[in-house]
Structure 1
Amino acid sequence: MSEELQMSGQGSTGNVIAAVCSFFIPGLGQLVQGRFVAAGVQFVLASLLWIILLGWIIHLWSIIDAARWKPPLY
């Protein structure tokens, strides 16, 4: 397996940075990873749910999703 594929998987520096970004703004980590649809969905859901104090659920999901994401193998 090439080094590039090993560095872009779960636990890689890029995923840690993405998870930290999502900690501050839900969906920002997905945006950093180039996952525009996931970023938009998570940002909108978290924003809407924070109105009824349940946004923390989506916020937490956003952080975990950014940290665990593996790019597709082509």
Structure 2
Amino acid sequence: MGRGSAGNVISALASFFIPGLGQLLQGRFITALFMFVMTFLLWLILLGWVIHLWSIIDAAVYDPPVPRRYRYDRYGRYV
């Protein structure tokens, strides 16, 4: 999945409703847990909207790393 793909849009929508859910759908468990816990804690002091917004944007623009076997060298060939 790349930026703007359907999977990232779904993840962003999921993070809109529950912070961290989009990251969880993408398989990023540590980030999802961090987003969920920090949003909960910061909502207690009225700053949770910052992490909530960050969670939505992060899920939308996430671009998974390319596996090593599919990378290109400097000449544009598969390595």
TM-score of the superposed pair, with normalisation by structure 2: 0.84
**Given the alignment of the two structures, is residue 41 of structure 1 paired with residue 62 of structure 2, yes or no?**
no
Structure 1: 5+ residue runs without aligned partners?
Answer: 1-7
Which structure has the greater CA radius of gyration? 2
Sequence identity percentage = 67
Distance 1:37 1:9 in 2: 20
Q: After TM superposition, where is structure 1 displaced by more than 4 Å over at least 4 residues in a row?
A: none
Q: Give how far 1:9 is off.
A: 0.3
Equivalenced residue count is 67
Structure with higher helix content: 1
Structure 2: 5+ residue runs without aligned partners?
Answer: 68-79
Q: Give how far 1:11 is off.
A: 0.3
The structure whose RCO (Cα within 8 Å, separation 6+) is larger is: 1
- Aligned partner of 1:11 among 4, 8, 33: 4
- Aligned partner of 1:24 among 6, 17, 28: 17
Q: Give how far 1:33 is off.
A: 0.3
Q: Give how far 1:27 is off.
A: 0.2
The one-letter code of the counterpart of 1:32 is L
